[in-house]
Amino acid sequence: MKKLIEIKRRGSDESGFTLLEYCAGAAVIIGVVWVALDTMGGNLGDFLKAVGDWADKRTEQINGAETSVSGGGSTEGGSTEG
């Protein structure tokens, strides 16, 4: 009888997660992400649009600065030094 109880104790010492526990954890994570996106959805879209607008303006500023620097003092093609 003692050996049967000892074998039962060894068998009940399982480590690791079961598929059910992984599914429950995934469901909790999905729920949290869903609530966060639902709460911040409109604000997040506005924020990303503002970042895109800022990047467009900054790109225009950089491109405008490059054309004004390279376009002003060019001596290619028509130099008549001699």
* Residue 57 to residue 51: CA distance in whole angstroms: 10
3-28 pLDDT tens trace: 766 666 665 656 788 999 999 999 99
Give the predicted TM-score (pTM) of the model.
0.39
Residue indicated by tokens 């620097």: 69
User: What are the structural domain ranges in the chain?
Assistant: 41-66
39-74 pLDDT tens trace: 877 788 888 899 999 999 999 998 887 776 665 554
